[in-house]
Amino acid sequence: MDFGRISRRHLLQGGAALTLGAAAGVRPAFAADTTIGFIYVGSRDDYGYNQAHAQGAAALKKIPGLKVVEEEKVAETDAVEKTIESMINLDGATLIFPTSFGYYNPHIIKMANKFPKLHFEHCGGLWTDKDPKNAGSYFGYIDEAQYISGIVAGLTSKSGKLGFVAAKPIPQVLRNINAFALGAKSVNPKATTQVIFTGDWSMPVKEAEATNSLIDQGVDVLTCHVDGPKTMVENAARRGAFVCGYHTNQSALAPKAYLTGAEWNWEALYPKFVKMIAAGEGIPNFYRGGLKEEIVKVSAYGEAVSAEARKAADDAKAKFLSADGFAIFKGGLVDNKGKTVIAAGTDRGQKDPELEKMDYLVEGVIGATA
């Protein structure tokens, strides 16, 4: 094989394509079959954030007439812009799901402006009315599922010490930690949740260290908010602790130790989105929901979960599913420095924008935001 010759010929062809392509412009691909592109920031079998989205993509693959193309490990740089364009130009994709939080600004906005006829659905809930109308950003109130995990953890723990391995002290993560701690405290007022921040979304070594360190301090139930919970789940199970999963179901990694978990339900949401488009109604630019809207779900209980814990968790779930819903963050809430963060009498429901700015850890959480 002579790569020199091939590449020279190809260079010439590329040069010809270069002139042709410039003249023809971008084709506005609308084929009979719709092609949908999925872009993941990490690997799609990470037992975590990306796998949850890949499961959603897999649900779409089952729908006839839909073609799904996927690309993993796409960085949050102009690489994602190029991947989007490549899916549009080379695969004819008309609906793109760039699933990582950091893809939105400026990359998706730029692409949505460049391709006004195509649709872009981003996971993260970042859309504002200044942004292009063909872009949307959805997100789920996964803190509801974390609250239920907290209940199960609080009733399973013998030491009353729970552990949380977290990436960064940003509002979304703090909200999960607080919801988990409040869930545990609702059934066991003495329960504490000790949190360790690793500093980034995927730091397997630090996640393992944090897991070990928490267990060394007497923690016997752990959960996490990092991109891939695999490290925490496997290490905790090996040390004999129980775990609550996150993002997706990790029970296969630790069948005995896995209690329950807070999962995304993209396999329910994505087919819903496709139906909305097919019906011509379009997807709302800003789409959110929790357990009731089937955007998040709770893993099936593991064998170690007692009947009492199952009942308490099911009761809480019923409250979230009820017409009135259930507010996790209620008035009279004190942070772990003793400051009142929600005044008595004000309930902050899941859609309250104040919760999006959360910068505290509630009473009962051991740890600091900075």
Partner 1 sequence: MTSEAADSAETVGAVAPAADPGFVQRYGGTIEYVLIPIAALAGALAVFGIFVMLFGKNPLDLYFYMYYGAFGTWFSWQNTLTRAAPLILTALCTALPAQLGMVIIGGEGALLIGALSATSAALLLQGMPPLVVQIAMVIAGVAGGGLWIMLAGALRQYRGVNETISSLLLVYIALAILNHLVEGMMRDPASLNKPSTREIGAANMIGSIPGTDVHWGLVFGLIAAVAAYILIYHTVFGFAARVAGGNIRAAKIVGLGVSKLILTICFLAGGAAGLAGMVEVAAVQGRTNANIAAGYGFTGILVAFLARQNPLAIIPVAILLGGISASGGLLQRRLGLPDASVLVLQGIIFVFVLASDALYGRIGFLKGKS
Please identify, among the stretches 82-90, 130-138, 184-192, 284-292, the one whose residues bind partner 1 according to the rule CB under 8 A: 82-90
For partner 1, the binding residue among 29, 58, 102, 218 (CB under 8 A) is 102
Q: Are 250 and 227 in contact (CB under 8 A)?
A: no
**What's the half-sphere exposure (Cβ side, CA atoms, 13 Å) at 321?**
11
Closer residue to partner 1, CB minimum distance, 8 or 256: 8
**Angle at which helices 171-187 and 307-321 pack, to 10 degrees?**
130
Please identify, among the stretches 84-92, 176-184, 234-242, 341-349, the one whose residues bind partner 1 according to the rule CB under 8 A: 84-92
Binding of residue 205 to partner 1 (CB under 8 A): no
Please identify, among the stretches 65-73, 259-267, 281-289, 292-300, the one whose residues bind partner 1 according to the rule CB under 8 A: 65-73
Q: How near is the Cβ of 248 to partner 1 at its closest, in Å?
A: 18
- Where are the extended beta strands (E) located within the chain? 34-39, 66-71, 93-98, 119-123, 135-140, 161-166, 192-197, 221-225, 242-247, 258-264, 286-289, 296-298, 333-334, 340-342, 365-366
- The amino acid at residue 221 is V
Closer residue to partner 1, CB minimum distance, 82 or 239: 82
**What's the half-sphere exposure (Cβ side, CA atoms, 13 Å) at 278?**
14
Closer residue to partner 1, CB minimum distance, 151 or 295: 295
C-alpha distances (whole Å) from 284 to each of 34, 273, 280, 287, 335 are 20, 9, 12, 6, 35
Q: How near is the Cβ of 145 to partner 1 at its closest, in Å?
A: 18
Instruction: Please tell me whether residue 298 adopts helix, strand or coil conformation.
Output: strand
Binding of residue 130 to partner 1 (CB under 8 A): no
For partner 1, the binding residue among 77, 159, 217, 322 (CB under 8 A) is 77
Measured distance CA(134)–CA(252) in Å, rounded = 39
Q: Are 254 and 243 in contact (CB under 8 A)?
A: yes
Residues 1-40, mask of contacts with partner 1 (x by CB under 8 A): xxxx-x---xx-xx--xxxxxx---x--------------
- Residues 226-245, interacting with partner 1 (CB under 8 A): none
For partner 1, the binding residue among 36, 74, 203, 316 (CB under 8 A) is 74
Q: Which residues pair with 245 in a beta bridge?
A: 261
DSSP 146-160: HHHHHHHHHHH-SSS
Q: How near is the Cβ of 350 to partner 1 at its closest, in Å?
A: 16
Closer residue to partner 1, CB minimum distance, 39 or 243: 39
User: Which of 33, 64, 37, 65 has its CA nearest to residue 53?
Assistant: 37
Binding site for partner 1 (CB under 8 A): 1-4, 6, 10-11, 13-14, 17-22, 26, 43, 69-79, 82-83, 85-87, 89-91, 101-102, 106, 124, 168, 170-172, 199-200, 356-357, 370
